[in-house]
Amino acid sequence: MAESPLRPIRRSALYEEVVDRLREFIDVHELQPGDKLMPERELAEQLGVSRTSVRQALTALRVLGMVDVRPGDGVYVTSTEDIVPSLALEVLESEADHPMIWEVREAVETQAARLAARRRTQVELDRMAAALEAMDESVAAGGEGVLGDRHFHQAILDASHNAMLQSLFTQLADAIDKTSQGSLGLKGQPPISLAAHRGIYDAIAAGSEQKAGERMRKHLATSAATVLTARRGRRS
């Protein structure tokens, strides 16, 4: 069966909606660096969500450089500039095989693989295995396995249970998709990537943080080198 050209819908987590509401609140009320937000409990009540969702949202905003969470004191606005989305826009406007994208992927996904080896559930392992099976079927039929590849990497990020890494990965999702498509579109690359994925999965399933991280790093570094070499060849 031919691979569907439709991309899967990315369902946003509740905390991401809270992030959007808080950004809107900061903008509408023209809050400035140094201004204090209302207490966590009050935020949860007004938004109609749990304090856990508010906490996750504040963590994401801290990663974005927009707030400073001071234990025992409160949450303060530190910047009204949306740092990570600005970076994502810059990356998306660059070439799809820009080295910067691969470097960011290596940093984020290597750590995600380590954490996934420590924290993954059986359900998450099953998701990874299903993604590998889908990729295998596609490659066996002469396809590139793009959808299976995407689902495999997303499953690992989810299994890391780290809201900061997940937020960064989501912000750069389109750029990351382009790097994967650039790699898997090269002749002979899909089976190589599939084999690397299986090695990463085995390490995560075995709970080996060191092997999972190293195998993910090697996979991304090798893929990057292959893509960049191909780009230089096209330009020469």
Q: Is the pLDDT of residue 145 over 80?
A: yes
Percent of the chain with pLDDT over 90: 46
Q: What is the DSSP letter of 145?
A: -
Q: Kindly state whether residues 112 and 214 are assigned to the same domain.
A: yes
Burial group, residue 232, by CB count within 10 angstroms (0-12, 13-18, 19+): exposed
Please tell me the total count of domains within the chain: 2
Does residue 4 form part of some domain?
A: no
Residues in the chain: 236
φ, ψ of residue 188 in degrees (nearest 5)? 80, -5
Using the 3D structure, point to which of 77, 94, 129 is the last residue of a domain: 77
- Better pLDDT: 133 or 171: 133
Q: Report, as an integer, the average pLDDT of 137-160.
A: 95
φ, ψ of residue 93 in degrees (nearest 5)? -80, -10
The pLDDT tens digits of the residues spanning 108-143 come to: 999 999 999 999 999 999 999 999 999 999 999 999
Q: Alpha-carbon distance 4 to 212, whole Å?
A: 30
Predicted TM-score (pTM) of the model is: 0.63
Q: How confident is the model at residue 85 (pLDDT cuts 50, 70, 90)?
A: low
H helices present in the chain, as ranges: 14-28, 40-47, 51-63, 83-93, 99-119, 122-140, 146-160, 163-171, 173-184, 189-205, 209-235
Q: Kindly state whether residues 109 and 177 are assigned to the same domain.
A: yes
Range of the domain at 33: 14-77
Q: Yes or no: say if 80 and 27 are a contact pair by the CB < 8 Å rule.
A: yes
